[in-house]
Amino acid sequence: MSGLHVKGVTVTIKEDRILDNVSFSLEPGVITALVGHNGAGKSTLMKTILGWQEKKSGIITLSGIDQDQHFISFKQNLSYIPEEPFLLSELTSMQHFQLYGQSYQIDEQKFNQLVEYYIGELEIKDKLHEFPESLSKGMRQKVQTICALLPDVDLLLIDEPFMGLDIYASEFLEKIIKEKAKQGTAILLTSHQLERVKELANQYLMLKQGRMIDQGVIGDFNVLKRRFD
Amino acid sequence: MKSHPSVRRAHHNIRRGRWNKKKKLYKLAFGLSFDLTISIYVGLFTLFGGVILYDTIQQYSGFFSEIERFLLNNYLTILLVLIIRPLIGAANRPGILFSSAELQLSLLPYSIKELILLCMIEKWKKTLIILCSLALLLGLITPFSSLFLLSVTALIFVMDILMTYPQWRLYQFPFRKKFIYILLAILIVAITRTVASIFHTDLLLIVGLCLLIGMVGIILRDTRGYVNWTKVVQTNDLIIWNIWFINKMSEMEIKPPTRQGLLGQLFRSKKSKKPFRYRDGSAIYRKLWKLYFIDHREQVVQTIGSIIIILSVLSFHGPWLIAISISLSIFLYAQMIAGFFSDGFSDKLIFSIPWDLNMWRNAFLKWVFGVGIILLLCVIFIFLLQGDYLIWIPFQLLLYGSVAVYFIRLLISERISILKKQYKKITWKQTVITVLLFLIVINSVVYPWVSISCLILVFIQKQAWYK
């Protein structure tokens, strides 16, 4: 069973239902936009897929691997680009890449090629041995993006993909997202830049107050539901 | 033409808001920790404690006169200390509480220089209030003379005013330059004080004082005026809002975003920027654990300190208490280590990557066993002091080391299962073995030959582990 399958996922924090019986599937090679108003549960859904957020009920499988049964193998198949970079202040950019390379068990030769390619395209060759606090926010975002792009995974989660990136980096990321999708990676991205997302995504999922209220092909997507309609 | 808005009023509003917020936080924290009964008890105990303290202090009036005389005879040393203290403080603290709130104000039509000045005045006001309160308290409960307290208060306050700006300037210096200045200042004080003590002359202290004043002059002459606002604001925000009592009550700790202390800066040598050898997979994990322990040094030191205290306090009350202290130490150390292991994965970035848990565990255990050796040295010291059964010490140490390794590995396996979301509990068999091992540890002090039999048991367990 390839792709991501989320079945009946409910997340509660204290008494509040943040996600309520959410179900959907992402097929390999499909770019899906996760849309919704502020506080709809988009980030919680991402966190739940990543395993940061414990779910009350439901099943999440990725390429047939159950998140609860084989959590580490599950994580081996996904990578994540957050909205705000969360780099470790004690590691340089290159050391971050190495941490990702080793964690995803990327062969050294391939790793070096990939790093060379991405740092060239994203123009951070001169920042390779710098610690995060000496980098600008955009640079940190580039480092975080490269980390997540290094492994070939079945699922790529992207929270606000173009936040903090300059126009060239945004264009490059868009190109890479399309290439990854062509290679069979399922991509789930959240963004408030709806026009841009419409051009990039094939499918959409719409959340409202923690419930999945709509999904389908991006061509059918008209308007974002307001929080209190 | 529009008149300028009042900086003083805007800053006052900020301070009032900060005060109100802190008041609210303290109220919440006190509400959590004190109810009426506890408050009455604490009040009564404080009162009794105060009376006992007062009575005790009165009995030592001669001792206080001695201190007063000593400080008056060594006023030059006090002066040196009062100069060097803010210089050393500049390693971590700007000395003026210019926070993000003030920086925000400076983006509005308010002068940044005036804001800094207001922050300085605010600091001096606070220092004066604290010093006067302290002097008043000491005047009431100790036999120190009023004139002595007044002069010391005045001296500290004047030096605080004079050294505020040099500390601020020195804080802005690049790391290496700042480090050299601080090192020089320490050397000047250490050398002049030592030589002055040897030759019984104050002349050298005056020379030291002149050198320090000269150094302050050089610091102030640096007129480039560069201020690292991000660093200043981050540090000051942390100083303002990182309140120990509230952190403890809310069980939330505010952590500094980056390490900026001298230790942290030194730690960031050129070597630390070098990439790891990619094929040596464990290097990166060893570094990450090292950084984790540095970040959590307070808890690490607290736990190791508690274990050493347990070992030293209980070890002079007969062999059975030595045995209990050793068992307790192994138990506490293993529990602490297991807690650190789980916590090491709580960072967002670390959590988001797939873990090679064997690598993570092995890199972690290298540090753990390193610290464990220090604790074993303490045990050796205790046994040597006891002087009994010296021939058995190597076997006993091997036993304690092996039991500790077994128990730590057992607890870490349990934590690993939680990380994997598999939640494997420790089995009854493992529990029985652990209890048995601890019983043998307890008996091994009084009956040291027991330690040999246990080595076999541990060996069997080791085989089982590797299978």
Q: What is the ipTM of this complex?
A: 0.83
Closest Cβ–Cβ partner in B258, B275, B355 for A98: B275
Q: Which of B213, B237, B261 is the last residue of a domain?
A: B237
How far apart are the CA of B317 and the nearest CA of chain A, in angstroms?
A: 46
Show the CA angle centred on residue A14, arms to residues A10 and A18, nearest 5°. Answer: 35
Task: Spell out, as residue ranges, where chain B has pLDDT lower than 50.
Answer: 259-263
Which of B349, B357, B362 best tests the A interface by mutation, with the highest count of A CBs <10 A? B349
Considering the domain boundaries, does residue B352 fall inside one?
yes
Instruction: Report the pLDDT averaged over residues A58-75.
Output: 91
Q: Are strands A4-13 and A16-26 parallel, antiparallel or unpaired?
A: antiparallel
Considering the domain boundaries, does residue B423 fall inside one?
yes
Residues B212 and B301 in one domain: no
Which of B347, B355, B421, B424 best tests the A interface by mutation, with the highest count of A CBs <10 A? B421
Q: Is A14 left (phi over 0), alpha (psi -120 to 50) or beta?
A: left
Considering the domain boundaries, does residue B272 fall inside one?
no
Is the minimum CB–CB distance between A134 and chain B shorter than 8 Å?
no
How is chain A split into domains, by residue range? 1-77+153-221, 86-152
The answer to whether residues A227 and A72 touch, using CB atoms and an 8 Å cutoff, is no
The top-level CATH class assigned to A1-77+153-221 is alpha beta
Residues B116 and B221 in one domain: yes
Instruction: Report the pLDDT averaged over residues A15-26.
Output: 90
User: Which has the higher per-residue pLDDT, B318 or A186?
Assistant: A186
Please report the pLDDT score of residue A189 as a whole number: 92
The answer to whether residues B458 and B402 touch, using CB atoms and an 8 Å cutoff, is yes
- The mean-pLDDT minimum among A39-53, A125-139, A209-223 falls in A209-223
Flag whether pLDDT at A80 surpasses 90.
yes
Flag whether pLDDT at A149 surpasses 90.
yes
Helix (H, G, I), strand (E, B) or coil at B224: coil
Residues B108 and B182 in one domain: yes
Please report the pLDDT score of residue B389 as a whole number: 66
Please report the pLDDT score of residue B150 as a whole number: 93
- The mean-pLDDT minimum among A83-87, A156-160, B114-118, B255-259 falls in B255-259
Rounded Cα distance, B351 and A225, in Å: 33
* Domain extent for B317: 283-466
Residues B197 and B325 in one domain: no
Please report the pLDDT score of residue B437 as a whole number: 77
Considering the domain boundaries, does residue B447 fall inside one?
yes
How far apart are the CA of A18 and the nearest CA of chain B, in angstroms?
A: 20
How far apart are the CA of A112 and the nearest CA of chain B, in angstroms?
A: 10
Q: Which of B175, B207, B237 is the last residue of a domain?
A: B237
B285 to chain A: closest CA residue:
A99
Rounded Cα distance, B77 and B83, in Å: 10
Considering the domain boundaries, does residue B455 fall inside one?
yes
Considering the domain boundaries, does residue B141 fall inside one?
yes
Domain count of chain B?
2
pLDDT in tens, B67-110: 888 888 888 888 888 999 999 899 889 999 999 889 888 888 88
